[in-house]
Amino acid sequence: MNKKKLFFRYVLPMHCIQLLTAWMPNTDITTKIRGRLMRPFFKQCGSNFRIGTRVIINRPDLISIGDNVYIAHQCYLNGTGGLKIERNVSVGPMCVIVTSKHVYQNGAVSMDSKASRVVIGEGSWLASHAVINAGVTVAEGTTVGANAVVTKNFEPHTIIGGVPARVIRTQETSL
């Protein structure tokens, strides 16, 4: 998609919605209103999408969102490499999800980047300030601890945390 079309179809309208709703508090009702207004700008967006204030979203046309997803305030979502957030996911405040990373060339970090898809599995929870790096799949039912940096994939239904993230324990599931 050319840059001009991308800007007028996705970037500008989403920014206007964010500006118009910035004065609203982060309550259940206002996050639903904001989510409903932003739904058309994503590649795909399920029902009951809720989103907080000051969320930065790059390439929403490459982001798919399932039903019952909540994205808290001040998050950064980069959809450049493709981002899929499955059903019943909660993303805590100030989380960062990136689908591209800079390339190291000729002894320095280049402005070029390499894009890789990210998937946030069904029923997962990203606690505040979590960072999900490009190419990672957060498995179904995973809890990512606050301030964790996830650089690789883990088994489903685990609690992970730390820098870099490691398994803390298996999630207890009830039937």
Q: What are the pLDDT digits (tens) for 27-48?
A: 999 999 999 999 999 999 999 9
How far apart (Å, rounded) are the C-alpha atoms in residues 35 and 85? 14
- pLDDT surpassing 70 at residue 175: no
CATH architecture of the domain with residue range 3-170: 3 Solenoid (2.160)
Average pLDDT, the chain: 93
Across 107-126, average pLDDT: 91
Distances (CA, A) of 151 to 65, 74, 83, 154: 22, 21, 15, 10
Quick check: 174 pLDDT over 60?
no
The answer to whether residue 76 scores a pLDDT higher than 80 is yes
**Per-residue DSSP letter, 172:** P
pLDDT, residue 173, reads 65
- The percent of residues above 70 in pLDDT, for the chain, comes to 98
Q: How far is Cα 50 from Cα 57, in angstroms, rounded to an integer? A: 14
What confidence score (pLDDT) does residue 159 get? Answer: 96
CA-CA distance, 93 to 61, in Å (whole number)?
Answer: 22
Query: Which are the contacts of 62, defined by CB distance < 8 A and separation ≥ 6?
Result: 43, 79, 80, 81, 82, 83, 99
Domain definitions of the chain by residue range: 3-170
CA distance 167 to 165: 7
